[in-house]
Amino acid sequence: MTDQAPATGQAPAIEMRGVNKWFGAFHVLKDINLEITRGERIVICGPSGSGKSTLVRCINRLEEHQEGEIIVDGITLSNDLKNIDQIRSEVGMVFQSFNLFPHLSVLENCTLAPIWVRKTPKAEAEERAMALLERVKIPEQAAKFPGQLSGGQQQRVAIARALAMEPRIMLFDEPTSALDPEMIKEVLDVMVDLAETGMTMICVTHEMGFARQVANRVIFMDEGEIVEQNAPEEFFNHPKNDRTKLFLSQILAH
Amino acid sequence: MTDQMHSPSTWTPKPDRPPPVALTGALGWMRENLFSSWLNAFLTVASIYLLYSVIPPLVDWAFLSAVWEGASRDDCLEASGACWPIIAVRWKQLIYGFYPEVEYWRPILAFGLLIIALYFGLYDKAPGRKYGLWYVCIFPFVAYILLYGGVGGLEYVESARWGGLLLTLALGVTGIAFSIPFGIVLALGRRSELPVISMLCTIFIEFIRGVPLITLLFFGNVMLPLFLPEGMNIDNYLRVAVVVCFFASAYMAEVIRGGLQAIPTGQYEAAAALGLGYWRMMAFIILPQALRVSIPGIVNTSIGLYKDTTLVSLVALFDLFGMGRAINADAKWAALEIEIYTFIAMIFFISCFAMSRYSLWLEQRLARGEQR
């Protein structure tokens, strides 16, 4: 599929077949078919309201789809709470608005789920959390509360918090959209580092530089449909669909 | 001017300057706060006059012209001030009700245990709090066994003999302590996605909130025994305590529900995305934040409930207020309501003011370090 597509003979990391979803009468996702192999790094872009966030949120069941099938890591998403919790502990998520727990310190944010969901002993969880904070380059903030950190630092903590669960798949829902321009780079740097470790990543983002640098595949969505998908070079240089061309001309104009 | 211009490459931020000096000293403070405008000056003068006309007579009545020693009402006839001997004579009843005097050590011990329980329950930095909280959980049972007796050689003291501050505290502390956990359960239940649970909780809350406490007390006290099988007699105090607990829980539930609604959905989503199930999400993420938001409301409800316990005097229980009314009926000490009610008001004020200060302290303490 691309110059560095991971070669694996295993089952796909995520498989979506004929997925449809409505918010009331509004049809948000229309017949989504998508297969994501392990280690693949996907960037999803599109205008607001195109359903890209909803698509990602369906993967860990923050949104419920009404038709079709979603299989994550071999587990089919259903109303079975046990399945959902299992998938959620395998799939990490980073939100646009960080959603750190404001009443817990940075370190506690990163150790809570490992201790209570994974049953990791506290000392071990703290040690691993510190290693992750080191990796996102803010170990010195461990004892602080989220409210005392800048936006970029908070988002890096959020990445460390998700990684603390040792997920196999990471979802990023517009991780840099709420950040000041000067902080975007520090978050993207962390994401590039993560991409280099071979993590399966699905990022909703408009950072096209990031897409070019790390993505195996770029997906363009509009009106709840996947309009076009291709390797980044092809996607940016030779978009096939008129809608894609228009979108790219708008976001790359500046 | 040109030397102040700088080339873009050598820009350095300007050094910080201290803020401009404000009016200082007592005179400056007064001018700014008390006499800043004609209206303000008028209000200041009017307030001073009001205080002048109230405070000296009050001090005179309560202290200067008051009688402090005496054996009966007659010792006070000469004086124009308060007749405090009534308190000296009656304070035991105001505190203990009709509790047998030889057993006074039991309420005193229970009160001491209560102070220890409050210390561990309310002060999060108390040494050994982990074990302290276990103590807090068993304290109510220990206290009730101590007060009721009937086991381990303790003489049985029926609750009809409890009274005064002892009864007020027993009801108030039980009501507040019970209503917080039960209120949490009701609030979560009302927001539950399971329609049956949500409906049951809503009906309970709305029914209790829609009926005056006094009505519920009469219901519990007078009507409930009619429905119970003959010979089955539930202690009067217990019936009232249950009603008070339910009543407080309904109010507490609504306060806590308000706090729950203040938590952004992002918090639920982040917790869910980490694989935390419903109970862990609630216990570690949602409730700690929701309860913190609800502290002013919780304390407000607690203070209200504590004072509302005086209503039990209308169903033949002699709480602090009911005891005061009973004492007023004593012909030997006639017409001394003001002294007795002043004393009762002081006791209530001390407890309620303490609760209010604790709430302020707790809010500030929890806000520290988490502020943006």
Query: Is A91 close to B266, i.e. CB distance below 8 A?
Result: no
Element (H, E) at A108: helix A106-116
What's the one-letter identity of residue B80?
S
Q: Which pLDDT score, from 0 to 100, does residue A40 have? A: 94
Q: How far is the alpha carbon of A103 from chain B, nearest alpha carbon, in Å?
A: 7
Q: Is residue B304 part of a domain?
A: yes
Q: Which residues of B touch A165 (CB under 8 A)?
A: 274-275
Query: Is A100 close to B292, i.e. CB distance below 8 A?
Result: no
Query: Among B40-54, B68-82, B265-279, which is the least confidently predicted range?
Result: B68-82
Q: How far apart are CA B32 and CA B23, in angstroms?
A: 8
Average pLDDT over residues B61-67: 88
User: B interface mutation test: which of A58, A79, A97, A101 has the most B CBs within 10 A?
Assistant: A101
Q: Is the pLDDT of residue B354 over 70?
A: yes
Of B118, B120, B145, which is closest to residue B351 (Cα–Cα)? B118
Mean pLDDT computed over every residue of chain A: 91
Query: Is A95 close to B270, i.e. CB distance below 8 A?
Result: yes
Q: Is residue B178 part of a domain?
A: yes
Query: Is B276 close to A86, i.e. CB distance below 8 A?
Result: no
SS3 per-residue string spanning B254-294: HHHHHHHHCCCHHHHHHHHHCCCCHHHHHHHHHHHHHHHHH
Average pLDDT over residues B190-217: 94
Q: How confident is the model at residue B4 (pLDDT cuts 50, 70, 90)?
A: low
Q: How confident is the model at residue B6 (pLDDT cuts 50, 70, 90)?
A: low
Q: How far apart are CA A161 and CA B46, in angstroms?
A: 60
Query: What is the Cα A207 distance to its own chain's centre?
Result: 13
Q: Which pLDDT score, from 0 to 100, does residue B89 have? A: 86
B236-261 vs B195-209: helix crossing angle, rounded to 10: 120
What's the one-letter identity of residue B189?
G
Q: How far is the alpha carbon of B369 from chain A, nearest alpha carbon, in Å?
A: 7
Helices (H), chain B: 25-33, 38-59, 85-96, 105-122, 129-148, 164-190, 195-209, 213-218, 224-227, 236-261, 265-273, 278-280, 287-308, 320-328, 337-367
B320-328 vs B164-190: helix crossing angle, rounded to 10: 140
- Residue B2 or residue A249, greater confidence: A249
The burial of A42, by beta-carbon neighbours within 10 Å (0-12 exposed, 13-18 middle, 19 or more buried), is given as buried
Q: Considering CB atoms only, which of A60, A97, A100 is closest to B273?
A: A60
Query: Is B273 close to A147, i.e. CB distance below 8 A?
Result: no
Q: Which residues of A touch B267 (CB under 8 A)?
A: 99, 101
In tens, the pLDDT along B302-342 reads 999 999 999 999 988 899 999 998 888 887 777 788 889 99
Q: How far is the alpha carbon of B193 from chain A, nearest alpha carbon, in Å?
A: 14
Query: Is A116 close to B280, i.e. CB distance below 8 A?
Result: yes
In tens, the pLDDT along A107-134 reads 999 999 999 999 999 999 999 999 999 9
Q: Considering CB atoms only, which of B274, B276, B370 is closest to A103?
A: B370
In tens, the pLDDT along A25-34 reads 999 999 999 9
Strand partners, A91: A169
Average pLDDT over residues B9-35: 80
Q: Considering CB atoms only, which of A62, A97, A144 is closest to B273?
A: A62
Strand partners, B83: B67
Query: Which residue of A lies nearest to B371 if distances are taken between CA atoms?
Result: A147
In tens, the pLDDT along B159-196 reads 888 999 999 999 999 999 999 999 999 999 999 999 99
Q: How far is the alpha carbon of B275 from chain A, nearest alpha carbon, in Å?
A: 5
Strand partners, B97: B162
Q: How far apart are CA A148 and CA A140, in angstroms?
A: 13
Q: Is the pLDDT of residue B371 over 70?
A: no
Q: Which pLDDT score, from 0 to 100, does residue B8 have? A: 62
Q: How confident is the model at residue A81 (pLDDT cuts 50, 70, 90)?
A: confident
Query: Among A1-5, A69-73, A223-227, B208-212, which is the least confidently predicted range?
Result: A1-5
Query: Is A112 close to B274, i.e. CB distance below 8 A?
Result: yes
Mean pLDDT computed over every residue of chain B: 89
Q: How far is the alpha carbon of B270 from chain A, nearest alpha carbon, in Å?
A: 6
Q: How far apart are CA B255 and CA B52, in angstroms?
A: 41
Exposed e or buried b per residue across A90-129, where buried means at least 16 C-beta atoms within 10 angstroms of its C-beta: bbbbbbbbbbbbbbbbbbbbbbbbbbbbeebeeeebbebb
Q: Which residues of A touch B277 (CB under 8 A)?
A: 81, 85
Q: Which residues of B touch A93 (CB under 8 A)?
A: 270, 273
Show the domain range for B253: 157-371
Q: Is residue B149 part of a domain?
A: no
Q: Which pLDDT score, from 0 to 100, does residue A145 have? A: 93
Measured at the alpha carbon of residue B325, what is the angle toward residues B169 and B82, in degrees to the nearest 5? 100
Q: What are B119's two structure tokens?
A: 């210390």
Query: Is B273 close to A91, i.e. CB distance below 8 A?
Result: yes
Q: Is residue B61 part of a domain?
A: no
Q: Which pLDDT score, from 0 to 100, does residue B22 have? A: 64
Q: Considering CB atoms only, which of B267, B274, B371 is closest to A113?
A: B274
Q: How confident is the model at residue A182 (pLDDT cuts 50, 70, 90)?
A: confident
Q: How confident is the model at residue A7 (pLDDT cuts 50, 70, 90)?
A: very low
Q: How confident is the model at residue A4 (pLDDT cuts 50, 70, 90)?
A: very low
Q: What are A198's two structure tokens?
A: 């071979």
Q: Is residue B41 part of a domain?
A: no
Q: Is residue B211 part of a domain?
A: yes
Query: Is B280 close to A89, i.e. CB distance below 8 A?
Result: no
Q: How far apart are CA B353 and CA B271, in angstroms?
A: 38
Q: Is the pLDDT of residue B20 over 90?
A: no
Query: Is A145 close to B276, i.e. CB distance below 8 A?
Result: no
What φ, ψ does residue B55 adopt, rounded to 5°? -70, -50
B141, B293 in Cβ contact below 8 A? no
- Residue B371 or residue A46, greater confidence: A46
Q: How far apart are CA A81 and CA A71, in angstroms?
A: 15
Cα distances (Å, whole numbers) of residue B39 to A68, B34, B35, B43, B48: 72, 10, 8, 6, 14
Q: Is the pLDDT of residue A77 over 80?
A: yes
Q: How far apart are CA B164 and CA B156, in angstroms?
A: 19
Q: Which pLDDT score, from 0 to 100, does residue B267 have? A: 96
Q: How confident is the model at residue A6 (pLDDT cuts 50, 70, 90)?
A: very low
Q: How far is the alpha carbon of B366 from chain A, nearest alpha carbon, in Å?
A: 9
Please give the span between the terminal C-alpha atoms of chain A, in angstroms, as a whole number.
30
Q: Which pLDDT score, from 0 to 100, does residue B160 have? A: 86
Helices (H), A117-254: 122-135, 151-163, 181-196, 208-214, 232-237, 242-251
Helix, strand or coil, per DSSP, at residue B67? strand
Q: Residue B16 gets which letter from DSSP?
A: P
Q: How far apart are CA B275 and CA A113, in angstroms?
A: 7
Q: Is residue B274 part of a domain?
A: yes
Q: Which pLDDT score, from 0 to 100, does residue B370 have? A: 57
Strand partners, A72: A14, A75
Chain A residues within 8 Å of chain B (Cβ atoms):
60, 62, 81, 85-86, 88-89, 91-93, 95, 97, 99-103, 112-113, 116-117, 144-145, 147-148, 158, 161-162, 165
Q: Is residue B130 part of a domain?
A: no
Average pLDDT over residues B210-235: 82
Q: Is the pLDDT of residue B1 over 80?
A: no
Helices (H), B37-128: 38-59, 85-96, 105-122
Query: Among A155-164, B70-79, B95-104, B202-211, which is the least confidently predicted range?
Result: B70-79
Q: How far apart are CA B288 and CA B273, in angstroms?
A: 19
Above pLDDT 90, what percent of chain B? 59
Q: How far is the alpha carbon of B200 from chain A, nearest alpha carbon, in Å?
A: 24
Q: Which residues of A touch B372 (CB under 8 A)?
A: 147
Helix, strand or coil, per DSSP, at residue A72? strand
Q: What are B124's two structure tokens?
A: 């999060």
Q: Which pLDDT score, from 0 to 100, does residue A2 have? A: 42
Q: How far is the alpha carbon of B194 from chain A, nearest alpha carbon, in Å?
A: 14
User: B interface mutation test: which of A56, A87, A116, A163 has the most B CBs within 10 A?
Assistant: A116
Average pLDDT over residues B98-122: 93
Q: How confident is the model at residue A57 (pLDDT cuts 50, 70, 90)?
A: very high
Residue B360: give its domain's CATH number. Answer: 1.10.3720.10
CB within 8 Å of B326: residues ≥ 6 apart: B93, B318
Strand partners, A44: A204, A219
Of B69, B52, B308, which is closest to residue B171 (Cα–Cα)? B308
Of A217, A194, A218, A220, which is closest to residue A5 (Cα–Cα)? A217
Query: Is A99 close to B276, i.e. CB distance below 8 A?
Result: no
Q: How far is the alpha carbon of B266 from chain A, nearest alpha carbon, in Å?
A: 5
Would you put residue B70 in left (φ > 0), alpha (ψ -120 to 50) or beta? left
Handedness of CA A200, A204, A207, A208 (dihedral sign): positive
Q: Is the pLDDT of residue B145 over 80?
A: yes
Q: How far apart are CA B203 and CA A168, in angstroms?
A: 45
What length does chain B have? 372
Query: Is B288 close to A103, i.e. CB distance below 8 A?
Result: yes
Query: Among A221-225, B99-103, B124-128, B189-193, which is the least confidently predicted range?
Result: B124-128
Q: Which pLDDT score, from 0 to 100, does residue B366 have? A: 83
A72, A231 in Cβ contact below 8 A? no
Task: Give me the residue label for tokens 């740097």.
Answer: A189
Of A55, A62, A63, A20, which is closest to residue A36 (Cα–Cα)? A55
CB within 8 Å of A250: residues ≥ 6 apart: none
In order, the DSSP letters of B150-165 are: -STTPPP--GGGB-HH
What φ, ψ does residue A41 adopt, rounded to 5°? -125, 115
Number of domains chain B contains: 1
Cα distances (Å, whole numbers) of residue A154 to A144, A239, B8, B15: 11, 35, 32, 29
